[in-house]
């Protein structure tokens, strides 16, 4: 009987201290996603997605390509942009953003290819990190980031540890990591950074939406329906709440450590 009581007390003590630091929550996330060694072994990550604007009856196809420390490319179909796609491509020396010509009843825009400024290039360097879907959490200290535990919060009835990660370039990412299974349930970040991650910053600039510094409003992205791809759990559904409008992204395909086609490096 004494052993049972001691076990119960020990169990509750463990639960009480499991979220005492940001590293406790981050380590739980890392172990739930295969461990640090396996995550760092990812040299390339390719994702196919569809973005559904339900209120507008519109679907956008998105391709995201990463090669560790060498390449980040995200491109998407553009409504009223014909067969050409918009893209952002960042290699180890420079970055570019391309928007095809747009023809619409409300007006037209010419195609444009813009080189990222030095600040924009430095600020998006983290996107070449391949250590899983939330790569910035892995070895965050070695990457020059700092992490702070900011309490807990319930996300869709799941208790999550709230971890604020500040990159060396100044961006802040707030991760809500489930205490039950270590998966990220929500990510909170500035709308400018969110548009960069989705490859839509070039489009926003063309439409007068400004860059990262011009829009610091926070956006929540919820992650659901985790499934195993190539031995790693990835979220197959993302939901962005933009005021009254919900943007749903379905991640339909993940390829880990597959060869990267040379075409993805090309800039028009």
Q: In the chain, what are the domain boundaries?
A: 21-265
* Beta carbons within 10 angstroms of residue 267's beta carbon: 14
Residue-wise over 12-40: b if at least 16 C-beta within 10 A, else e? eeeeeeebeebebbbbbbbebbbeeeebb
Residue 172, beta-bridge partner list = 166
Query: For residues 255 and 64, what is the distance between their CA atoms, to the nearest angstrom?
Result: 10
| Residue whose C-alpha is closest to residue 198's, from 70, 77, 56, 112 | 77
In the prediction, which pLDDT does 42 show?
A: 98
213 phi, psi to nearest 5 deg:
-75, -20
Instruction: Specify the CATH architecture of the domain 21-265.
Output: Clam (2.50)
Q: What is the pTM of this model?
A: 0.85
- Output the pLDDT for position 101: 85
Is the separation of the CB atoms in 49 and 64 below 8 Å?
yes
* 125: its two tokens: 């360097």
Q: Read out DSSP for 193-262? A: HHHHHTT-HHHHHHTT---GGG---EEEEEEEEEEEETTEEEEEEEEEEETTEEEEEEEEEEEESPPPPG
Look at the alpha carbons of 75, 204, 241, 127 in this order and tell me if their dihedral is positive or negative.
positive
Instruction: Look up residue 259 and give its two tokens.
Output: 């060869």
Let me know: does 237 contact 248? Beta carbons within 8 Å: yes
Per-residue pLDDT of the chain (268 residues; tens, 9 = 90+): 544 444 444 444 444 445 589 999 999 999 999 999 999 999 999 999 998 876 666 788 999 999 999 999 999 987 765 678 899 999 999 999 998 887 766 667 788 999 999 999 999 999 999 999 999 999 999 999 999 999 999 999 999 999 999 999 999 999 999 999 999 999 999 988 888 887 666 555 544 444 444 457 889 999 999 999 999 999 999 998 777 777 899 999 999 999 999 999 999 7
């Amino acid at each position: 009987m004494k052993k049972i009581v001691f076990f119960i007390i020990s169990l509750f003590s463990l639960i009480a201290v499991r979220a005492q630091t940001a590293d406790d929550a981050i380590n739980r996330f890392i172990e739930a996603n295969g461990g640090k060694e396996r995550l760092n072994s990812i040299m390339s990550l390719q994702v196919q997605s569809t973005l559904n604007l339900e209120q507008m009856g519109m679907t956008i196809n998105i391709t995201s390509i990463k090669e560790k420390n060498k390449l980040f490319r995200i491109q998407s179909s553009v409504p009223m942009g014909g067969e050409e796609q918009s893209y952002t491509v960042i290699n180890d020396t420079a970055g570019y953003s391309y928007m095809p010509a747009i023809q619409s009843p409300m007006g037209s825009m010419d195609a444009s290819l813009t080189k990222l400024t030095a600040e924009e290039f430095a600020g998006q360097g983290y996107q070449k990190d391949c250590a899983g879907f939330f790569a910035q959490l892995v070895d965050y200290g070695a990457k020059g980031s700092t992490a702070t535990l900011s309490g807990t919060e319930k996300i869709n009835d799941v208790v999550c540890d709230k971890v604020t990660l500040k990159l060396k370039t100044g961006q802040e990412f707030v991760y809500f990591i489930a205490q039950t299974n270590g998966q990220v349930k929500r990510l909170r970040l500035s709308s400018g950074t969110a548009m960069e991650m989705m490859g839509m910053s070039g489009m926003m600039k063309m439409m007068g939406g400004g860059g990262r510094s011009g829009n610091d409003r926070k956006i929540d992205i919820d992650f659901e329906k985790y499934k195993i791809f190539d031995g790693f759990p990835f979220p197959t559904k993302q939901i962005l709440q933009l005021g009254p409008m919900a943007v749903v992204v379905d991640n339909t395909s993940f390829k880990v450590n597959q060869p990267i086609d040379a075409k993805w490096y090309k800039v028009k």
